[in-house]
Amino acid sequence: MDNPGKFYITTPIYYVNARPHIGHTYTTVVCDTVARRQRMMGCDTWFLTGTDEHGQKIERSATAAGCSPKEFADRVSGEFRQLWDRMKLSYDDFIRTTEPRHVRGVQALFRRLQERGYLYKGSYSGQYCVSDELYVDVAEPGAPCPECGRPTETVHEENYFFKLSAMEEPLLKLYTENPDFIRPDARRNEVISFVRRGLRDLSVSRTTFTWGIPVPGDEKHVIYVWLDALANYITALGYGSDDPSDKARLARYWPADVHMIGKEIVRFHCVYWPAFLLAADIPLPKSIIAHGWLLFEESKMSKTRGNIVRSETILDTLGADTLRYFLMREIVFGSDGSFSFDALVQRFNSDLANGLGNLSSRTLSMITRYFDGEIPYPSSGARDASDDAIAELAQQTIADFHAQFEQFQFSRALETAWGLVAAVNKYIVEQEPWSVAEKDDQDSRARLATILHTSAEALRIVTALVHPVIPESTARIWEQLGLGDIGKLNLRELTWGQLPLHTKLGKVEAVFPRADKSTIERMQQMEQERAAQTAVAAITEPTEQQRTPETPHPPAAPQPAVAAANDTITIEDFTKVELRVALVKVAERVKGADKLLRLEVDLGTETRQIVAGIAKAYDPEKLIGRKVVIVANLAPRKLRGLESQGMIVAASLGDDGVPVLAGFLEDVPVGARLK
Ligand code: MSP
């Protein structure tokens, strides 16, 4: 990490089938912190993030949301970007895989692999996991994916194949010769044993869907989504472009210094990506660093589990720095860590409000009170061992903090910095500057000056060190210290004793207000409201056309995930409801009722007419041929003179109750019962 020249760091590009949550925020904050620190060390830094927008998963989510994949991707990609901007993340570029620069670059890479003889056409028959966008090795059709447990789909197609098998030896050589290529070691060992078990050629195109980048010259194929996605790390710099400024950027920043990823995508980054690059004769990234998962109630946060925490909830209550500090301090980098609102508030109060906040406000307010807002200078005659101990500890803190940070031990580095905060707070209590101030003799005045100078200098050091982690609040403390723009500081030069003479403080005010139980309750309440709005696996924000539906059998209002004990029903109650899969044969608008559609659905044994209030959310043409779920034993009722012989099942989104039809990822027979 300590390269004084250039530094290029990337996050994974995030799928747009899920809205951003604090799991995504975690990776992005880690990269942002590292990038900020590299810049403060005087390094020419490039920080890339973005969104991964192609593939069957996104295509299906878009269909479920009733919009085109591009509209869908625009919306969710926009949300990621808005959140990162709201958090003032310091990315230099945000790549979207639907951008022309990326499409051009991926096609150039594909052609290059072809020209170098690494691609061939063959036919593939096997199981595919749509969720992981991965071909898997399972015994039976439909068997669960070994990665995520979801059912796989059978795929028979003619594909382009990449000669991954030819890369086994070069990859093993790479891992052996570059022990830092994959970090931490546990991940490296996993990858090595995976490759040692043998690599089979990889299918790198698909013909069964169209939402992807066409294979150049053979456009019925789209390029495999992981080849498309991984290439972002070079296309964003300009790979595939003839423009001189793109070429210069690519030459300047590639190879990447760090690809930061979550542990579940290690194989793609540590096996496929270097294999593609080796085959294309493009230099390899220097390191791939995998972190653990952020867990909520012991399981990985995911949309499917419905245990997501949104960053916005924390930003709206305690601010971005609190979230950043928590993520960097509480999670031991590389291991899984848990999130809870209680732990967040506890960290905030103990470390930020009581720790750094208290040090800052008591030091600065005493300088205001006793020295008219000008940082006093220490006099050598008034120094004692306690001041020297603080100076020594500060020097040691600088050295340890840097060393730990360089090793990605963020939590330990912060613990080190807060060791200094605690020591100075203790020093202030022991030295009792307020009592010294009561004495009016010259020696006491010199002693008071020394104590407050020592405290201010230690505060300056901690503030500088942790600026990459909590940039907003440290910038404010820096200004209050009268030091101006913290952005101008070179961290490499930070050392004890640099406080300029006659520094006049800026306006002193509290940086971290205290939080209490009501803050936790407020956050939990906000989360519940957000969860209710996003209670389904599909996209949430209604488009203009999706607003104000009228539902004859309105989808139920969003319910808490677990019903209160006295609201439970027995299994017998549930089995009274006959839910069945039905195929839409006819769908048309109902004259004079702009919210209603008349459907004819095939139940296998009979055809039913259903009148559904989904016209604002679904075009009738798009529903024909779609499998839906209906309540088949509901008493018929009339709507606009038409008999509705059942009810279509939909999730209800947002305050407007926008319906999203229930469906299946796997193929299901018409008439199948849900139980
Ligand atoms: N699109 C692929 C990556 C392609 S990179 C060429 C993808 N996207 S994703 O949206 O699923 O994002 C995965 C990444 O988000 C993880 O690798 C991790 O960086 C981050 N996280 C998502 N959920 C997370 C947690 N619960 N905890 C920690 N990180 C998490 O995979």
Written as one string, the DSSP assignment of 518-587 is: HHHHHHHHHHHHHHHHT-SSS--SPPGGGSS---SSPPPPP--SS--GGG---HHHHHTS-EEEEEEEEE
Higher pLDDT, 4 or 449: 449
Report CA-CA distances (Å) from 313 to 33, 273, 338, 469: 21, 36, 17, 19
Residue spans of beta strands (DSSP E) within 451-592: 579-590
Residue 555 predicted with pLDDT over 80: no
Which of 49, 52, 232 most suits a substitution to test ligand 1, by most atoms within 8 Å of the C-beta?
52
Q: What pTM did the predictor assign?
A: 0.79
Which residues are 289's β-sheet partners? Answer: 183, 260
- The residue type found at 11 is T
Least confident of 335-339, 554-558, 606-610: 554-558
Distance CA 487, CA 492 (A): 13
DSSP-derived letter for residue 381 is G
Per-residue confidence (pLDDT) for residue 549, from 0 to 100? 28
Torsion (CA) 291, 293, 294, 298 in degrees, nearest 10 = -150
- At residue 542, the pLDDT reads 30
- Cα–Cα dist 366/364, whole Å: 5
pLDDT at 528: 78
Q: How far is the CA of 26 from the centre of ligand 1 (A)?
A: 10
293 lines ligand 1 (CB under 6 A): yes
pLDDT band at 511 (very low <50, low <70, confident <90, very high): very high
Determine the atom of ligand 1 nearest the C-alpha atom of 265.
17
* In contact, 554 and 657? CB cutoff 8 Å: yes
Mean pLDDT of 618-637: 87
Residue 123 pLDDT > 80: yes
Q: CA 472 to CA 87: how far, in whole Å?
A: 10
CB of 262 closer than 6 A to ligand 1?
Answer: yes
CB–CB of 398/494 below 8 Å? yes
- What pLDDT is recorded for position 303? 62
Specify the pLDDT at position 564.
30
Hey, is 259 helix, strand or coil? strand
Closest residue CA from atom 15 of ligand 1:
24
Query: Which of the pair, 298 or 225, is modelled with greater confidence?
Result: 225
User: pLDDT over 70 for what percent of the chain?
Assistant: 92
Bond preceding residue 255 cis, omega within 30 of 0: yes
Nearest CA-CA partner of 223 in 79, 114, 328: 114
Confidence (pLDDT) at 298: 67
Contact 29, 323 (CB under 8 A): yes
In this predicted structure, what is the pLDDT of residue 516? 82
Residue 192 CB burial class (10 angstroms; 0-12, 13-18, ≥19): middle
Q: Which helix (H) or strand (E) holds 434?
A: helix 433-438
Ligand 1 atom with minimal separation from the 296 CA: 26
Give yes or no for residue 263 CB within 6 A of ligand 1.
no
Evaluate the CA torsion angle 611, 614, 620, 625 in order and state its sign.
negative
Helix boundaries (H) for 331-378: 341-347, 358-371
- Closest Cα to atom 13, ligand 1: which residue? 14
- Atom 9 of ligand 1, nearest CA residue: 14
Whether 24 is in the pocket of ligand 1, judged by its Cβ within 6 Å, is yes
In the chain, where are the structural domains located?
6-314, 343-493, 536-674
Percent of the chain with pLDDT over 90: 68
Mutate which of 9, 19, 27, 302 to test ligand 1's pocket (most atoms within 8 Å of Cβ)?
Answer: 27
List, in order, residues 6 or more apart from 363 with CB less than 8 Å away. 428, 452, 455, 456, 459
Q: Supply the mean pLDDT for the chain.
A: 89
- Placement of tokens 């407007």 in the chain: 656
Report the pLDDT value the prediction gives residue 575, as an integer from 0 to 100: 79
Name the residue with tokens 């702009």: 594
Residue given tokens 């004859």 in the structure block? 552
Q: Residue 48 Cα, ligand 1 centroid: separation in angstroms?
A: 15
Place of tokens 């930061």: 260
Place 543 in a pLDDT band, splitting at 50, 70 and 90.
very low
- Report residue 351 as tokens: 């470390």
- Ligand 1 pocket test, pick from 14, 223, 277, 304 with the greatest ligand atom count within 8 Å of Cβ, gives 14
Name the 3-class secondary structure at 148: coil
Range of lowest pLDDT (53-62, 464-473, 560-569): 560-569
| 645 vs 468, more confident | 468
Residue 538 has pLDDT above 50, yes or no: no
Mean per-residue pLDDT, 260-275 = 97
The ligand 1 atom at the shortest distance from the C-alpha of residue 260 is: 19
Q: How large is the average pLDDT for residues 146-152?
A: 84
**What's the topology of domain 343-493?**
Isoleucyl-tRNA Synthetase; Domain 1 (1.10.730)
**Spacing, Cα 74 to ligand 1 middle (Å):** 19
How far apart CA 338 and CA 159 sit, in angstroms, is 42
Cα–Cα dist 207/331, whole Å: 42
Whether omega for the bond prior to residue 636 falls within 30 degrees of 0, making it cis, is: no
Residue with CA nearest ligand 1 atom 19 = 262
Residue 17 Cα: closest atom of ligand 1? 10
Do 20 and 83 meet the contact criterion of CB atoms below 8 Å apart? yes
Note the maximum CA span of the chain.
Answer: 102
Alpha-carbon span 354 to 428, nearest angstrom: 14
Structure confidence at residue 390 (pLDDT): 98
User: How is domain 536-674 classified at the architecture level of CATH?
Assistant: Beta Barrel (2.40)
If pLDDT is split at 50, 70 and 90, which confidence band does 304 have? Answer: low
| C-beta 23 within 6 A of ligand 1 | yes
Q: Is 496 near ligand 1, meaning CB less than 6 Å away? A: no
504-524 average pLDDT score: 90
Are the beta carbons of 377 and 498 closer than 8 angstroms?
no
pLDDT of 133 higher than 90: no
- Structurally, at CATH architecture level, domain 6-314 sits in 3-Layer(aba) Sandwich (3.40)
